[in-house]
């Protein structure tokens, strides 16, 4: 068995490393516009998603009955708590899916899908 | 039947959303966990039970630890482009996009790669040079093992608040897991040769005693982490995370049952050279290995595809 001193020293070094590590946030989606599962009358002017902690969005797509929806804005790689965009052309009636992926500050890869219907 | 299906709806929805790329990440993560824990646990096994040259040769740690560490290193590096690819929509073009690779590396994931990579290189290098159980080689092996375990606390749900407590509990949890997982293959090997029955039986009995403490720590820390991350037990059966965790707990219960059978029945029979005791013990250890693999797969699914609060 290695000496007790070796184990204590390694344990102490670990403890100091742990204590020195900055606090990292695990971001969670807090809401979206349109809300998940909602039905909206007419094409929405805005499509948005927001989080409780900063998130670096790497993918934000909207797809519907006619395939991919062109958007006015794409997310950059900066950490943000809210991303908002709008459809380049009005959305036809039907079911739509918002798909996003991103990196939270705790290194966790996050992804979600939001569904809404245009009437 | 329809009631059962509706209860399982969160898990079914999660499975429907999990595409091929996510499954690839899950499999690579599970393989990384297994190989890293075998490498670290192999170090624990050598340091605690090593010293008998015949048993050491039979356990095969001199090849097992570097092989596991090398495999873990390769899988660790593979996770990097896989994460980048997932962030970019699940394509190989995104997997090697310099911007996405830099984004993944420039954060907690990069810290994990550096820490785990350093630890695994240390295990790989030190073990090739020397399989001494004391002195500088042992201390370096311990440091390498510690760095690998520390790397697990850099990313994920335990990186939130309260940081120090969560990371400490995860370290303790993983240390206990590594002790158990890393011992399975060496124990399987040393229980094979008939001429090593008695020294092997002594190691098996001693492992059983030490493993009791490790298992207690593993369960206590695991339950506390789960309770804290899920903010209570109410979502255990109602969220996808909770339902997968329930499957993991069920597999763990089976594993504990096997471990108890080994300690209280099969190892004593093996020590007494009872008929077919060797084959039954080795079969039981092999079953433990299968359950461990299943638990690691479920853990990888939890950490890769969902989060404690859904």
* Residue A21: per-residue pLDDT: 44
Residue B40 pLDDT > 60: yes
Average pLDDT over chain B reads: 88
* Residue B159: per-residue pLDDT: 52
User: Cα dist. A93→A33, A41, A87, B96 in Å?
Assistant: 17, 9, 13, 37
Contact B164 A19 (CB under 8 A): yes
**CA B294, B299, B304, B306: dihedral to nearest 10 degrees?**
110
- In chain A, which residues have their Cβ closer than 8 Å to the Cβ of B138? 2, 6
Expressed in percent and rounded to 5, the helix, strand and coil fractions of chain A are 15, 50, 35
Q: How confident is the model at residue A117 (pLDDT cuts 50, 70, 90)?
A: very high
**CA–CA min distance B267, chain A (Å):** 24
- The more confidently predicted of residues B162 and B66 is B66
Contact A18 B167 (CB under 8 A): yes
- In chain B, which residues have their Cβ closer than 8 Å to the Cβ of A56? 103
* Residue B269: per-residue pLDDT: 96
Contact A10 B87 (CB under 8 A): no
pLDDT tens digits for B156-173? 555 555 677 777 888 888
Within an 8 Å CB–CB cutoff, is residue A109 touching chain B?
yes
**CA–CA min distance B133, chain A (Å):** 7
* Residue B99: per-residue pLDDT: 93
Tokens of B309: 């609060």
* Residue B310: per-residue pLDDT: 57
% of chain A with per-residue pLDDT over 70: 77
Contact B103 A6 (CB under 8 A): no
* Residue B304: per-residue pLDDT: 87
Contact A7 B111 (CB under 8 A): no
Q: Are A101 and A109 in contact (CB under 8 A)?
A: yes
**CA–CA min distance A80, chain B (Å):** 14
Residue B31 pLDDT > 50: yes
**CA–CA min distance A82, chain B (Å):** 18
What is the separation of C-alpha B278 from the centre of its chain, rounded to a whole number of angstroms? Answer: 26
- The more confidently predicted of residues B188 and A107 is B188
Q: Are B259 and B213 in contact (CB under 8 A)?
A: no
Contact B86 A111 (CB under 8 A): yes
Q: Residues of chain B whose C-beta is under 8 A from some C-beta in A?
A: 17, 47-48, 83, 86-89, 99-100, 103-104, 107-109, 111-112, 133-134, 138-139, 142-143, 146, 150, 153-157, 159-161, 163-164, 167-168, 171, 304, 307, 309
**CA–CA min distance A86, chain B (Å):** 20
Residue B222 pLDDT > 60: yes
User: What average pLDDT score do residues B290-304 get?
Assistant: 93
What ipTM was assigned to the predicted interfaces of this complex?
0.79
**Who among B103, B168, B309 is closest to A77 (CB)?**
B103
* Residue B158: per-residue pLDDT: 52
* Residue B295: per-residue pLDDT: 95
**Who among A10, A105, A107 is closest to B112 (CB)?**
A107
Q: Which of B45-54, B72-81, B224-233, B245-254 has the lowest mean pLDDT?
A: B224-233
User: What average pLDDT score do residues A66-80 get?
Assistant: 91
Global pTM reads 0.87
- The more confidently predicted of residues A22 and B25 is B25
- The more confidently predicted of residues A39 and B134 is A39
- In chain A, which residues have their Cβ closer than 8 Å to the Cβ of B111? 107
Within an 8 Å CB–CB cutoff, is residue A21 touching chain B?
yes
**CA–CA min distance B214, chain A (Å):** 17
User: What average pLDDT score do residues B264-268 get?
Assistant: 95
The H or E element spanning position A82 is strand A79-85
* Residue B106: per-residue pLDDT: 86
Greatest alpha-carbon pair distance for chain A in Å reads: 73
Q: Which of A18-27, A90-99, B40-49, B99-108 has the lowest mean pLDDT?
A: A18-27
pLDDT tens digits for B109-164? 888 899 999 999 988 766 655 555 566 777 788 889 999 998 987 765 555 556 77
Within an 8 Å CB–CB cutoff, is residue A4 touching chain B?
no
């Amino acid at each position: 068995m290695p000496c007790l001193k070796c184990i204590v020293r390694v344990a102490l070094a670990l403890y100091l490393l742990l204590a020195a590590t900055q606090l990292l946030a695990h971001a969670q989606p807090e809401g979206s516009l349109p809300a998940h599962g909602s039905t909206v009358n007419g094409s929405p002017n805005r499509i948005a998603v927001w989080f409780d902690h900063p998130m670096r969005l790497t993918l934000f797509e909207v797809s519907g009955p006619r395939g991919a929806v062109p958007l006015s804005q794409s997310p950059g790689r900066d950490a943000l708590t809210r991303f908002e965009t709008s459809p380049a052309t009005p959305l036809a009636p039907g079911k739509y899916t918002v798909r996003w992926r991103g990196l939270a500050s705790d290194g966790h890869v996050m992804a979600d899908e939001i569904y809404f219907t245009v009437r | 039947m329809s009631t059962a299906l509706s209860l399982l709806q969160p898990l079914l929805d999660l499975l429907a959303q999990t595409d091929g790329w996510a499954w690839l990440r899950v499999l690579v993560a599970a393989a990384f966990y297994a190989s890293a824990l075998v490498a670290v646990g192999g170090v624990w096994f050598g340091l605690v039970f090593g010293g008998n040259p015949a048993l050491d040769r039979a356990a095969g740690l001199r090849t097992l630890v570097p092989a596991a560490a090398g495999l873990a290193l390769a899988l660790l590096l593979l996770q990097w482009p896989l994460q980048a690819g997932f962030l970019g929509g699940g394509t190989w073009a995104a997997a090697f996009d310099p911007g996405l690779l830099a984004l993944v590396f420039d954060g907690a994931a990069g810290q994990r790669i550096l820490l785990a990579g350093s630890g695994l290189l240390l295990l790989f290098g030190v073990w090739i040079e020397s399989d001494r159980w004391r002195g500088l080689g042992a201390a370096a092996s311990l440091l390498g093992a510690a760095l690998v375990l520390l790397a697990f606390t850099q990313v994920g749900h335990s990186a939130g608040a309260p940081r120090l407590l969560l990371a400490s509990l995860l370290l303790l949890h993983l240390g206990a897991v590594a002790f158990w997982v890393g011992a399975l293959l060496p124990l399987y090997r040393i229980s094979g040769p008939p001429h090593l029955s008695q020294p092997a039986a002594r190691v098996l009995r001693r492992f059983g005693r030490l493993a009791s403490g490790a298992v207690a720590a593993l369960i206590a820390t695991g339950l506390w982490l789960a309770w804290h991350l899920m903010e209570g037990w109410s979502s255990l059966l109602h969220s996808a995370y909770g339902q997968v965790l329930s499957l993991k707990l069920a597999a763990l219960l089976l594993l504990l049952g096997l471990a108890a059978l080994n300690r209280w029945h099969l190892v004593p029979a093996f020590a007494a050279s009872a008929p077919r005791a060797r084959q039954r013990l080795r079969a039981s250890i092999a079953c433990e290995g299968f359950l461990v693999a299943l638990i690691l797969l479920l853990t990888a699914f939890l950490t890769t595809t969902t989060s404690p609060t859904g």
